[in-house]
Amino acid sequence: MNYKMIATDLDGTLLYDVFTVSKENFKAIEEYVKMGGFVVPTSGRCFREIIPEIRNCKDIKYCISSNGAVVTDTSTGERDEVLIPSNRFEEIMELTLRYETFHTIHFESDSYMLKKNDSAERAAYYNLNEYYYMHYHKWCKKPEKWERELFGGRGVEMISVFFHSQEELDKCTAELKAMGDIVVTSSADFNIEIVSKGASKGDGVRRLAKKLGISPDEVIGIGDSPNDIALLDGVGLPLAVSNAVDILKDRASRVICSHKEHIVKYILENIIE
d(CA 192, CA 129) in angstroms, rounded, equals 15
With a pLDDT cut of 70, the percent of the chain lying above it is: 100
pLDDT value at position 153? 84
- Neighbour order of strands in the sheet with 70-73: 62-65, 70-73, 79-81
| Alpha-carbon radius of gyration of the chain | 18
- List pLDDT tens digits, range 196-209: 999 999 999 999 99
| 122: exposed, middle or buried (Cβ count in 10 Å: 0-12, 13-18, 19+) | middle
Query: Is the predicted pLDDT of residue 122 greater than 80, yes or no?
Result: yes
The burial of 270, by beta-carbon neighbours within 10 Å (0-12 exposed, 13-18 middle, 19 or more buried), is given as exposed
- 273 versus 22: which is more confidently predicted? 22
CATH superfamily label, 5-81+199-270: HAD superfamily/HAD-like (3.40.50.1000)
Q: Where are the domains of the chain?
A: 5-81+199-270, 86-196
**Domain over 86-196 is classified CATH 3.30.1240.10:** yes
Strand order of the β-sheet with 5-8 is: 38-41, 5-8, 219-223, 237-240, 254-255
What pLDDT, on a 0 to 100 scale, did the predictor assign at position 149?
Answer: 81
pLDDT(234) > 90: no
CB proximity list for 17: less than 8 A, separation 6 or greater? none
Band (18; pLDDT cuts 50, 70, 90): confident
What percent of the chain has pLDDT above 90?
A: 92
User: Which of 130 and 124 is assigned the larger pLDDT?
Assistant: 124
Nearest Cα to Cα of residue 266 among 246, 241, 236, 244? 241
Is this model's pTM higher than 0.75 or not? yes
For residues 5 and 219, what is the distance between their CA atoms, to the nearest angstrom?
Answer: 5
